Amino acid sequence: MTISDLQSNFIEKLEGLYTKGEAERLFFIGLEDLMDINLSQYRVEQNRTTKEIDPKRMLNYLQGLLEGKPYQHLIGEVHFANLKLRVGPEALIPRPETEELAYLIKEENDTAAQLSILDIGTGTGCLALACAHLFKNSNVEAVDISKEALGLARANTKQNSLDVKFWEADILDKSKWPSGNWDLIVSNPPYIGESEAVEMDDLVKEHEPHTALFVPDNDILIFYRAIMELANERLNTGGKVYMEINQKLGEATRELFVHEGYETRLLKDLSGNDRFVVAER
């Protein structure tokens, strides 16, 4: 069997679960991350036999996909803002929109400055670690309510040789807030109403933590109010709050901060959806 045959078999097996284009994309993701063969190399080496490269990891990867597992969990890592981050069921898989947020923060702030930055609901640590990587002179802290997520975030910090201080805290409980003041507060908090779960992919609902996804339908902005209250007390003069938001609630989220006197912008993601709110004191 050649590598090209392996590709054909891979795509055929995934028929019905994924479109041909999606299956091809998953094949090449696995080939590069598990076998260290990128697309350019594949074009040269596709007629090599699988005797020359052990296909076991690719076959295990295929089996996991057939069992309905997220490809990111099967590979065990994702690329995010030029970092490699471990992922698992302990925390949300970092999304492209969150990476957009990381680069928005970079574009709008002096990367050489000595800033104090707080990430709320850090999960894998993706935003906090991106900030630590992009703002090398800054002090970065992050909070999450989940011990398991914090364990993953700490492992990612060590893997990328970065310095972030983590706190286990429920941001909804004011008595648990970390001490300090910050120039930037960043967050991708839970923002999906429980009733919206029916619209979501089973892959997400079955393999990612619901506490990091869902909020009660009767109080969808609960975390944004908590972030606003924290910012009211702890955001330095001239500071900014950067948040990823529910695309259906852009104006409602923005208005929360407008009513508190913040200069506030509602920004779209690359797909054209309302996705970020930036509030400046």
pLDDT tens over the chain, length 281 residues: 888 999 999 999 999 999 999 999 999 999 999 989 988 888 887 787 766 777 899 999 999 999 999 999 999 999 999 999 999 999 999 999 999 999 999 999 999 999 999 999 999 999 999 999 999 999 999 999 999 999 999 999 999 999 999 999 999 999 999 999 999 999 999 999 999 999 998 889 999 999 999 999 999 999 999 999 999 999 999 999 999 999 999 999 999 999 999 999 999 999 999 999 999 99
Can you give the pLDDT at residue 276?
99
Task: Please tell me the predicted confidence (pLDDT) of residue 2.
Answer: 87
CA distances from 191 to 27, 205, 220 (A): 32, 14, 6
Chain position carrying tokens 């935003």: 127
Taking a C-beta distance cutoff of 8 angstroms, is the pair 102, 81 a contact? yes
User: Does a structural domain hold residue 197?
Assistant: yes
**Shared domain check, 63 and 83:** no
Same domain for 123 and 43: no
Strands 83-86, 77-80: parallel, antiparallel or unpaired by DSSP?
antiparallel
Question: pLDDT value at position 40?
Answer: 87
Q: Identify whether residues 64 and 174 lie together within a single domain.
A: no
Asked, for residue 170, whether it belongs to a domain, the answer is: yes
Task: Say yes or no: 185 and 271 in one domain.
Answer: yes
Residues 54 and 90 both lie in one domain: no
Q: Classify 12 as helix, strand or coil.
A: helix
CA-nearest of 178, 174, 148 to 165 is 178
Count: domains in the chain: 2
The token pair at 215 is: 């909020």
Whether 184 maps to a domain, the answer reads yes
* Domain endpoint, select from 14, 41, 68: 68
> Mapping DSSP to helix (H, G, I), strand (E, B) and coil, where does residue 41 land?
helix
Q: Report CA Rg, the chain.
A: 21
The whole-angstrom separation of Cα 189 and Cα 244 is: 7
pLDDT at residue number 51:
63
Residues 21 and 103 in one domain: no
| Residue at which a domain ends, from 27, 50, 68 | 68
Is residue 73 situated within a structural domain?
A: no
| Same-domain status, 64 and 95 | no
Looking at the fold, whether 123 and 59 belong to one and the same domain comes out as no
Q: What stretches of the chain adopt beta strand conformation (E)?
A: 77-80, 83-86, 116-120, 139-144, 165-168, 182-187, 192-193, 214-215, 235-244, 263-268, 274-280
Query: Residue 51 domain-assigned?
Result: yes
Q: Is residue 26 part of a domain?
A: yes
Domain end, chosen from 40, 68, 96, is at 68
Structural domain for 117, as ranges:
78-280
Q: Please count the helices (runs of H) and the strands (runs of E) in the chain.
A: 11, 11
* Sign, Cα dihedral of 193, 195, 199, 202: positive
Q: 55 with 140, same domain?
A: no
Length, in residues, of the chain: 281
The pLDDT of residue 53 is 72
Q: How far apart are CA 204 and CA 242, in angstroms?
A: 24
Tell me, yes or no, whether 22 and 85 share the same domain.
no
Contact assessment for residue 106 and residue 99, using Cβ atoms and an 8 Å cutoff: no
Asked if residue 197 and residue 108 are part of one domain, the reply reads yes
Residue 110 maps to which CATH number?
Answer: 3.40.50.150
Tokens 């007629």 locate to 47
* 71 Cβ contact partners less than 8 Å away, ≥ 6 residues apart: 26, 29, 30, 61, 64, 65
* Residue 94 DSSP one-character state: P
Same domain, 129 and 245: yes
